[in-house]
Structure 1
Amino acid sequence: MSDATNLGKDPEDYIEELVKSGRYENRDAALKEAVRLLAFKEQRLAELNAALARGLAESEAGLGTPIEEVMAEFEARYAERMKKRSA
């Protein structure tokens, strides 16, 4: 398939190229896959936005761990790992 990511030309031509290459059985199969992928992307975006909103709400409510504590734990783990490597 030639440059599968080039959508600069007419999308109908692109779909036709995908069908001719054998990648998809027909135009409907290609369009069905495109819609499936768009639906997946939109669902994932909604999930990520919801997770972000929850995280921000928890942070504003003081439910998170202060960055100083997180960094201190990270630095301690890193120091321990480096110590084991040099041993």
Structure 2
Amino acid sequence: MATMNISLPDQMKAWVEEQAADGRYSNSSDYVRDLIRRDRVRREKIAAMDEMIAEGLASGISERSVEEIWQDAVRRSEQVDQAA
């Protein structure tokens, strides 16, 4: 595993250390790795939503009902969640 040294203001360093000390994480590095993993998942979800929005805009005006569109959006959102 690679090592990375980062500089944090005192308040941020204290926050990271508190998160590690409460028992959920074994150390500060575990906490930071979890933050990075969560950020990656969040960004992937945002990218998927952006793609769906672009697809929707490109498709033009729909003849489907609002209910049909909503059900399709829910189904697609569930697929994105399962892929993550």
Q: TM-score, normalised by structure 1?
A: 0.59
Q: Find the aligned partners of 1:50 and 1:10 in 2 and give their Cα distance.
A: 38
Q: Give the % identical residues.
A: 22
Give structure 2 stretches of 5+ with no counterpart. Answer: 1-9, 69-84
Greater relative contact order (Cα 8 A, min sep 6): structure 1 or 2?
A: 2
- Report the counterpart of residue 55 of structure 2 in structure 1: 54
* Residues 31-76 of structure 1: per-residue CA shift (max 9 Å, x gap): 00000000011110000000000000001xx5x216xxx26x89xx
For the pair 1:10 / 2:11, whether they are aligned, the reply is yes
CA RMSD after TM alignment: 2.3
Q: Residue 10 of structure 1 aligns to a residue in which SS? A: helix
Q: Find the aligned partners of 2:11 and 2:45 in 1 and give their Cα distance.
A: 28
- Report the counterpart of residue 65 of structure 1 in structure 2: 63
- Report the counterpart of residue 5 of structure 1 in structure 2: none
Give structure 1 stretches of 5+ with no counterpart. Answer: 1-8, 75-87
Amino acid at match of 1:65: E
- Report the counterpart of residue 36 of structure 2 in structure 1: 35
Amino acid at match of 2:49: L
